[in-house]
Amino acid sequence: MRLHIINGPNLNLLGLREPDIYGKQSYGDLVEYLHASAETLGIAIDCFQSNHEGELVTLIQQTYGQADGIVINPAAYTHTSVAILDALKAVALPAVEVHLSDVSQREDFRRVSYPALACIAVIAGKGFVGYKDAMILLRSALAK
């Protein structure tokens, strides 16, 4: 099983950006955690990050025929991007949306998620562990 893990804008600034919300670990720490978690789960992963909506759409489109599922943290594009929603619908792979913080406890505008409409689940507020939970969920869904 191969999963593509796609991260949106500003995740490259983890550890610097609002550490009281997102933690003090870096994006490099996240990628290390993802690879270690995937290895223990017996899952192959490819990790991507972009600050550009169009590039995220292209990355989602490229999962078709290359991956079995998607873990996506659209970050700020969660609340604005119909294009990311449409790309997820187009590739029609099982996807799980992940957020490091609990977006339901933050500003009202953060409670709207367009990509979630094409996802089998949303995991929020669990930090890095949310990504591992998403991999486990997708492994289970794909085994059925």
Exactly one of 22, 77, 114, 131 is catalytic; which is it? 22
- Non-local (6+) Cβ contacts of 88 within 8 A are 60, 70, 72, 95, 115, 118, 119
Per the annotation, the verdict on 22 as an active-site residue is yes
Q: Tell me the sheet residues that pair with 49.
A: 7
What's the burial of 20, exposed, middle or buried (CB within 10 Å: 0-12/13-18/19+)?
exposed
Per the annotation, the verdict on 77 as an active-site residue is no
Exactly one of 4, 77, 99, 114 is catalytic; which is it? 99
What amino acid positions are annotated as catalytic residues?
Answer: 22, 99
